[in-house]
Structure 1
């Protein structure tokens, strides 16, 4: 927390400066579909698909015995594979299939369950509507591209959160987003990242993190933030720095919005800028982080299943979780993505020309 967040953000965004227009257009295409995610009915589709899935899982549970069960072996690569699919149970299916191939115990019932697990996320999206289906497909297809720009050790969740915050800030300031505009702002992030001046903000953010985070501490940081002097060529990057810094203050340091607002105004940052940009972006980023946390929760549940040694108990656990927490997480995902979309739109509604 602190300077690490800001450094990582600027590093990641700056890496996009040299990306091809074609690949950036892929991100913008996904974003345009995301902006349609604020109003659709999803519960009937989830209920129908999980009824089928649970019925199949019950069959497997009721016929599983130790001699022909489907023990699953998990490893780090499997969890990483999950993120290459995005919203999917496909990692579970791949592992299960490989394990059973090795043991030569593939049964008709578990094969049917496998097939449904493999397609359930797409089946749900297809049942909802064509825009949701297209969004899920774009989301999955772009994960490798999004991860490819990451500094070592940065996970998909952080990549996506930073990228969405960046695009929201650009879109709010410019009113639109194109590959050319995207790369212009990414280039500015690189210039800020390479500057000597930004180190003062890093130090001030670390000092704030280690302080009692009193109003005086926040005011001291705001004075440093507003006093940041960058070379002319990098100045549009100041808004990016302000946005991520305030997001860290609100979402990670848990500093009260009123304190941030008062100190920002006192430091000379326009009140309307704090209201429309900083707090709107905080709300959106917090909601989007919740979306990817839901996905990670599905991975955690799968790991719990994989860790069960007794294969009979493993099959029972799988059945229970499919009908319980995994289904609930799919409901949460679609609910949260709608809220994230609404908050993204709110965050970019007050446009600022830069």
Structure 2
């Protein structure tokens, strides 16, 4: 596990947490809010390790008995809340693992730290059960609520916690991380960065995912050939795309990045700003066959398709209409 110095981005949050530790003003309850993969868990783990570190600094030493326990996931005073139901954290989960447990003093650390992933999954009863502990905590208690969607938490919880919202990390930092730590080639890093939109966790997942490469290859085949495809070919492509239903948003995002490249290059002729630099010949050919209005229609159609799929509109019908729209707007 890295220390704060190795965390990419989130400088303001790191500064806040370090300052709180240095001044002895650590809050009893924090909400770390941000989309999945943005770094909430890493920040919480490093914060917890640092609080328990026997050296008492603003970075974990990584070598004391407490840090070794924290890094192995076996620290008795760093508790990660577990729940059996995948989409719900029950009142019993909260009572057994936090409310009742917090009455027992720390075994060895200065603090007793509770980390709650997916905190927005707590039922209203679970949140209300936690509220009293947050309002009147023992001096040694620190509760870290990690939420993809903090607005799903009760106002009473929100008002009693320090809110730390994780923002997207700059693209150049995400790319540097992929190239240095995941050994991703320059071109592949650009594609992953474009998709990740400042989310390092998602960028790493994409860079190391075999399914993402399959999606990319399938999408590129469509993008290069859609103007020549007949309706039967489009229906066949729909069936092949249906294999990626779980990742269909990534598939549509891939198409959108391609057409943004087309629009950008048509307007600027600047190949340095392209994501798909190695497809320059295909992009050049397509801009000569496309109007600005046609490309913008396609981009709107992609957003419409995402909205329909989120609303559970029929998958095959949505994709067929999308591919026909793309074909109609390419000269």
| TM-score w.r.t. length of structure 2 | 0.32
Larger radius of gyration: 2
The one of the two structures with greater contact order (alpha-carbon pairs below 8 A, sep at least 6) is 1
So what's the TM-score if we normalise by structure 1? 0.30
